[in-house]
Structures are given as structure tokens and as C-alpha cells.
Amino acid sequence: YPRISLTVPSIVIMVPGLYIYRAVYYIGLDSINGMLWLTKAALIIMFLPMGLFVARFLMDKKWRYSD
């Protein structure tokens, strides 16, 4: 397997980790800030793959017009 296919997913999944941790912490304290942090984490999780898709769509002509 290519090295990038093994390292990138394991690093990318750690990006929203702090946001999820803080969300759980604030939800445990029964604070409304927990939902704010959870929303931020969900948006990061949603838009990371979309950003990779857009970059690939814009830069890779073979992938964009494949048969």
C-alpha cells in the first residue's frame, strides 16, 4: 500500500479530537458550551472529506473526466 494511504487517514481523524474532548467535558458539566464544541467537531468531520474531494476535483484532470 502507498504510505500516504496509511498515514493520512490516521492523522486526519485526530483533527477534531480536541473539539470532541471539550464537548464531552462541557456536556458533563451540564453546560451549553458542549453543544457548541460538538457542532464545531461535526462540521470539521463533515468538511475534511469535502475539502479533499474539491482539491482532487480541481487538480486532477484524469480523475475529473474519467470514463
pLDDT in tens, 4-41: 677 777 777 788 889 999 999 999 999 999 999 999 99
- Kindly state the percentage of the chain with pLDDT values over 90: 39
| Residues contacting residue 20 through CB under 8 Å, at least 6 positions apart | 37, 38, 41
Q: Output helix, strand, coil percentages for the chain, rounded to the nearest 5.
A: 80, 0, 20
Classify residue 24 by burial, with Cβ atoms within 10 Å: 0-12, 13-18, 19+: middle
Residue 21 pLDDT:
94
Question: Is the pTM above the cut of 0.85?
Answer: no
Residue 4 pLDDT:
67
